[in-house]
Amino acid sequence: MKQEPVLYVKRLAEFVGQPFSAEEESEGVVDQIIKLCSFEHLSSLGIKKTAQLQEPKASSLKFLVNNRDFFRKGQIGDWKHHFTDEMAKRVDHITGEKIKGSGLTFG
């Protein structure tokens, strides 16, 4: 996706049943989506620095998760510092099942 974002954003749109029209493509909608979803844009949002996700009140457990915890370095392969081999295999299996038949691949 990082090497060919336009191609993969279009493929994802088709996969979810919402392909881009010729007019949307000529107006630069795909490029706008790529820019809005970029790591640089998302990691610069103010909510990353201020907001917190709270455990629902119905739960007896009380904890806070800072939004900044949802952002790491934005580098390919950084997941290896956070996942065990077993976790990676499980995610690969689940992802493979979910995208089967879509024409999307990962490797």
Q: At 52, is the secondary structure helix, strand, or coil?
A: strand
The list of the chain residues with pLDDT below 70 reads 46-72, 107
CB within 8 A of 95, min separation 6: which ones? 106
**What is the predicted pLDDT for the residue at 20?**
97
**What is the predicted pLDDT for the residue at 42?**
81
**What is the predicted pLDDT for the residue at 61?**
58
State the number of CA atoms in the 13 A half-sphere of 34 facing the CB. 15
**What is the predicted pLDDT for the residue at 41?**
86
DSSP element (H, E) containing 12:
helix 5-15
**What is the predicted pLDDT for the residue at 28?**
96
CB 91 within 8 A of CB 83: yes
Please tell me the distance from the alpha carbon of residue 105 to that of residue 107, in angstroms, as a whole number: 7
List the beta bridge partners of residue 66.
52
CB 104 within 8 A of CB 15: yes
**What is the predicted pLDDT for the residue at 27?**
97
The pair of three-digit structure tokens given for residue 3, joined into one six-digit string: 């090497």
Please tell me the distance from the alpha carbon of residue 32 to that of residue 98, in angstroms, as a whole number: 26
